[in-house]
Amino acid sequence: MKTPATSAVALVVAGLACQEIGASLAVRLFPETGPLGMVMLRLGFSALVLLAIARPRLRGHAAADWRAVVAFGAVLALMNGLFYLALERLALGVTVTIEVLGPLVLSIVASRRASSWLWAGVAFAGVLALGGGGWDRLDPLGVLFALGAAASWAFYILASARVGGAFAKLDGLALAMVVGALLSLPFGIADAGAALLRPEVLLIGAGVAVLSSTIPYALELIALRRLAASAFAVLMSLAPATAAIAGFLLLDQHLHWAEIVGIGLVIVASIGAVRAAARAVPDAPAEPLG
């Protein structure tokens, strides 16, 4: 018999799986749209879905709230852009592992516990192991893009908290997604060109948006009602493993054993840092993926 906690775990895992399936679809569409064209499609369709669901109120907000929304939207566009640019050059599992370093570092800094630096060392060892199969296997520009996505994810968490406090429910996220979609528009049109006029490309782009954003976010919100925030964050730390499996099954991306060890070390470091932060701030909320 399933307990609420067991079903919540299943929801989180399903959300992670949907997200990586969406990322795999996006990679397959890169030859048609380019990474920035894919970013525009994902953010654009995500914005339309969120606007339909949230129907955000536009009145009653201070100028500072709107500045926070614009900043959040800019971070969304930057984070997704750098992530897809990295995916063009690196394996999915490697890209997500590097990206996870952003929230991992944020957790270590937020915990303010000396033991947290142990997990920083484990994460550093994991990053070194990613190059264990030969650093020539890792595209340097791809690594830089992934590190940029990692930093953007940390800023995403901070910006999300600011906007979440100023706007009700999903209103702030919906409005920020519109800003992100608009910012990505000129880059996406330049990258994808005439491919954006093809119905099949638009259909796959909509599918990527639903799989990568809408379904995971909905499942994570439901799971957060049944799980402690710390338990949820631990489960989210499994994202690199889910990405590596999706890359192997859907994109035929084979990883060197040292890269698999590196992914494992980063996951261990993420779980350790999350638990350290939870002990420091027991009621700290977890962040669903955007």
pLDDT in tens, 107-158: 777 666 666 678 778 887 887 777 665 556 678 999 999 999 999 988 888 8
Joined together, the tokens standing for residue 148 give 């940029």
- Say what the pLDDT of residue 284 is: 45
**Would you list the domain boundaries of the chain?**
4-280
- Say what the pLDDT of residue 279 is: 62
Joined together, the tokens standing for residue 181 give 């979609």
- Say what the pLDDT of residue 278 is: 62
Q: At what angle do helices 215-224 and 4-54 cross, to 10 degrees?
A: 130
- Say what the pLDDT of residue 121 is: 82
Q: Is 154 helix (H, G, I), strand (E, B) or coil?
A: helix
- Say what the pLDDT of residue 206 is: 94
Which spans in 88-214 are helix H? Answer: 92-99, 101-111, 116-130, 140-166, 171-192, 199-209
- Say what the pLDDT of residue 179 is: 95
- Say what the pLDDT of residue 136 is: 60
- The stretches in the chain having pLDDT less than 70 are 1-5, 110-116, 131-137, 229-230, 274, 276-290
pTM > 0.95: no
Q: Which of these, 180, 177, 176, 153, lies nearest to 163 by C-alpha position? A: 176
User: What number of CA atoms fall less than 13 Å from residue 163's CA on the CB side?
Assistant: 28
Collect all residues with Cβ–Cβ distance below 8 Å to 248 and sequence separation of at least 6: 93, 254, 255
